[in-house]
Chains A and B, each alone.
Chain A
Amino acid sequence: MSHALWYASRATGLVCLLLLSASVVLGLLGAGRFSTASWPRFVVGALHRNVSLLIVVFLAVHISTAIIDPYAGIGWISAVVPFSSSYHPLWIGLGAVAFDLLLALIVTSLLRTRLSLRLWRAVHWTAYACWPAALVHGIGIGGTDRTQPWVLALDLVAVGSVLVALGFRLVASHPDTAARGTQAATTAGSKAGTRAGTSWRS
C-alpha cells in the first residue's frame, strides 16, 4: 500500500511539472502575442487557463498521497508552510513555496475581472518563481529518480521548452509596445523637469 502511494506521488509530481511547464510556455506565447491560423490567440489563452486548472487536480493527488503515505511522515501543514517538514525540509519546502504561489496565481486569475489589473499582474509575475521552485523541488526530492534516464529526459524537455518560449517572449515585439515605449520615456522625463521649464512633448 505504501509503495502504491509513493509511486502515485512521484508520478503525479512529474505530471504536475510537465503541466506547469506547459502552462508557462503557453503564458509566454500569449504574452509574446503568438498566433497562427490553427492556434489563434484565444486558443493559446484558453489552453493556458485550462492546463493551469488541470495542475490543481494532479497536485491534489500528489500532495495528499505524499502526506497519507506514512513512510515520510510529512504533515498536512508542511504542504503550505514552507520548510516546516522534518523530512527533507528544503526540498519539501520548495514544493510548498511552489504550491502557495500556484494557489495565489489561480485564485487571482479566477477573480481577474474583479481585481485591479496591477494586482493581478504583480501576482502573476511570481510564476517566474513558482516554476523554478517546482522544478528544483522535483529534482531535489527525486532521490533515485535523479539517475533515471527517462526522468532526466522529461526534466530536459520541461526546461528546454520553457527556455525556448522565454526566448520567443523576449524577442517578440509589436508596434503598440514600441509606440507607447517612447511615450513612457518622455513622461518620465517631463515629470522630472516640469518646473525646470522643459517642454512636454519634445
Chain B
Amino acid sequence: MAVMSRRGPAPVAAPAPPSGNWRLLSGWAGSGRRETYREHLERFGALPLAAYGGGAGRQRLVDAVTASGLRGRGGAGFPTGRKLAAVASSRGRAVVVGNGCEGEPSSRKDRILAEYAPHLVVEGALVAAHATGAGEVYLCMHHGAPAAAVLAEAAAAHQTRVKVGVVEVPGGFVSSEESALVNYLTRQDGRPTSKPPRVFESGVGGRPTFVGNFESLANLALIARFGPAWFQSLGTVDSPGTALITVDGAVRQPGVVEVPYGMPLAQVLGAAGGPTGQLQALLVGGYAGHWVPAGAGAAPLSHAGLAAVGAAVGVGSVIALPSAACGVVETALVLRYLAGESAKQCGPCMFGLPAIAADFAALATGAAAGDAQVVQRLRRRLGEIDGRGACAHPDGAVRLADSAMRTFEADVRQHLAGRPCAYSGQLPRLPLLQPGNGVLVAR
C-alpha cells in the first residue's frame, strides 16, 4: 500500500474514551453516518503505537490485550491476547489477517463495521501487526461485498510501513474459517486444512499468522488507546466489553446493535425494537449455533451466561422465532443449507450432514411419522459426526440439530405422531442463501 499523508493536524489533547454502550459504532451513533478519517481521529485520538515501541513495548501491548480479557468475536471466543502472544513467539515473520468474510447468513455485523467504522478495523490490524512484528496485513471480505471498497479507501489513509491489502475471497460458509482463509491466501484454495499445524505457527506462506475477526480488530484499536481497565468497564468478568449483535426474525427493527456483554437476551431483543409478537424460541450464535426456548430470555448474553442455558455466543446473532412458525421445518432447511456448504473434504461431513439433514427433513414433512427409529438414528449420527471433521463445520450442524431436538421436543413428538403443527406448510422465516445465486429465499 502506498504511504499517503492525508491527516490534518493531530488533536491537541487525547479525547475521552467512549462512555456509553456505543463503542465500536460510536462514530455512526454520533454522526449518523460513516465518519471521515479526520473526524475519526478527533473522536478517538491518534493510534499511540509509538508508546509501544521496541521489544519491551510490543510485550506491553500484548500484555495489555491479555489483561483486557478480549475474546475473539469470530465465533470461537478464544482469548485474543493469547493468540497474539502465540504468533509473536512463533518462528518467522508474522502475517496479520483480518477476517470480515462473515460466511454466516444470519450475521451482518462485520459488514456493518467495515462500512461504518473502517478505520477502527484497519487500526486494529495495525495494532496486531505491531504486536506480532508482522509486515503484511490482509483484510478479507467476501467477493462482491460493497464495504470492501470502503475499507480499501480507508486503509489508504493510514500512514504506516505495514503493507495493508483488502482481499476479496470467494463466498461460501466455510471459506471464512481460519485455516480456509489462510489456505486461500497461500494457494487460492479456500478450503479448510487439517490441524496441526495451527495457523498461529504456520499460516500464510507457512509463516505464523494472526487471524482476527473484524470486530476483534476494532476492539484492539480501542484497547491500544484507552487501556484494559476502560475496556472492562462494560461487560462481565468472563466476557468483557461490548458485542455487535445481529438481531433478526420477529423483531420490530432487525439490524445490528452494540450491547454490553451480560445484557439479558430479552433486553437485546428490546434494543432491536422488541418482539413483534409471541416468541417460541431464539436461535443464538448463528446457523451453526443453538436454539434456546423463548423462556430463556433472562439469560445474559455472555460466554458463561449462554453456556448455562446450553448455548454459546457464536458469531453474535440472535434470531427470534415467533410462535406462529415451525422450528422443526426451519431447522431442517438450515441443516440442508449447511450440508450443501460442506467443503467435501471429510467423510463424516460430506456424508453425515446430508444424512442428518434428510432425517430432519423427514421429521419436518411428516414422512417419518410412525418411524420410531428416526430419533435414535439421528442421535447416533449426531454423536458420530461431532468433532470428526478437519474444521468445526460439522460440529455446528450437530449443535443446531441437537439443540433443536431439545427446544422443539414437543413439536418433534407431534411430527413423529403424524400431526405436524399448523405452520409447517408456510414459507420459512430464517433468511437462507439459495445455493448458486446468492439470493435470499423468503423473509
Contact = CB atoms under 8 A, between A and B. Distances in A.
Q: Do A and B come from one complex?
A: yes
B344 A179 contact: yes
B170 interface: yes
A187 B189 contact: yes
Contacts of B191: 187
Contacts of A199: 143, 170-172, 436-438
Interface string B30-64: 00000000000000000000000000000000000
Interface string A158-202: 000000000000000001100110110001001100110101111
Contacts of B350: 179-180
Interface in B140-182: 143-144, 168, 170-172, 175
Contacts of B438: 199
Contact of B170 (A180, A182, A183, A190): A190
Contacts of A195: 168
Contacts, number: 46
Nearest to A179: B350
Contacts of A194: 143, 168, 170, 188
B351 A202 contact: no
A179 B435 CA distance: 17
A201 B435 contact: yes
Given A187-B189, A191-B189, A194-B143, A201 B351 contact: no
B189 A200 contact: no
Max count, chain A CB within 10 A of own CB: residue among B191, B340, B344: B344
B81 interface: no
Interface residues of B, number: 23
B351 A200 contact: no
B344 A200 contact: no
Contacts of A200: 143, 170-172, 175, 190
Nearest to B438: A199
A197 B144 contact: yes
Contact of B435 (A176, A183, A202): A202
B233 interface: no
Given A183-B344, A183-B345, A175 B351 contact: yes
A202 B344 contact: no
Contact of A197 (B143, B189, B351, B437): B143
Max count, chain B CB within 10 A of own CB: residue among A179, A191, A195, A200: A200
Nearest to B340: A201
A61 B172 CA distance: 60
A197 B345 CA distance: 24
Contacts of A202: 435-437
Interface string B307-351: 000000000000000000000000000000000110111010011
Nearest to B343: A183
Contact of A182 (B344, B347, B351): B344
A182 B343 CA distance: 11
Contacts of A197: 143-144
Nearest to B350: A179
Contacts of B143: 194, 197, 199-200
A200 B435 CA distance: 10
Contacts of A183: 343-345
Max count, chain B CB within 10 A of own CB: residue among A175, A187, A197: A187
A191 B172 contact: no
Contacts of B343: 183
Max count, chain B CB within 10 A of own CB: residue among A180, A187, A191, A199: A199
Contact of A176 (B188, B347, B436): B347
Given A194-B143, A197-B143, A197-B144, A179 B172 contact: no
Max count, chain B CB within 10 A of own CB: residue among A182, A199, A201: A201
A129 B94 CA distance: 46
A156 B190 CA distance: 50
Nearest to A196: B143
Contacts of A176: 347
A102 to B, nearest CB: 33
Given A200-B172, A201-B172, A180 B344 contact: yes
Nearest to B174: A201
A178 to B, nearest CB: 10
A180 B189 CA distance: 15
A194 B436 CA distance: 14
Given A175-B351, A183-B343, A199-B170, 8 more contacts: A176-B347, A180-B344, A180-B350, A182-B344, A183-B344, A183-B345, A194-B170, A197-B144
7 contacts: A175-B351, A179-B350, A179-B351, A197-B144, A200-B170, A201-B340, A202-B436
Question: Shortest 8 CB-CB distances between A and B: which pairs?
Answer: A200-B170, A183-B344, A200-B172, A202-B436, A201-B172, A200-B171, A199-B171, A179-B350
Interface of A: 175-176, 179-180, 182-183, 187, 190-191, 194-195, 197, 199-202
